Amino acid sequence: MHAATFAGLFLIGQKSFPQGKLWWQLHLALIVYGVVMELLQMQTGYRSMEAWDLVADLSGQLLGHFLLFFRGKVLKGDSRD
């Protein structure tokens, strides 16, 4: 669930940076968001902070980035075979 959510957040967020020059800022913002959410969950008393959730968040961001890269390759017809 985390990976799919963060892939979606990355894909939506990348619309703010269509040229891809500032995607590192998007990645950083999503990392900070994930950490803050985990810290807030820890404060609730009925949820706990999970390191694996952060790993899933990062995996989702990478998945979103990969999907954009792959989509660009497919749309441009770039094949090196």
> Which parts of the chain register pLDDT below 70?
18, 20, 73-81
Between 51-76 and 23-44, two packed helices, what is the crossing angle to 10 degrees? 150
What pLDDT does residue 79 have? 46
What pLDDT does residue 81 have? 44
Of the candidates 62, 6, 4, 14, the residue with the CA atom closest to the CA atom of residue 34: 6
Q: Full-prediction pTM beyond 0.85?
A: no
What pLDDT does residue 28 have? 93
Domain range list for the chain: 2-72
What pLDDT does residue 76 have? 59
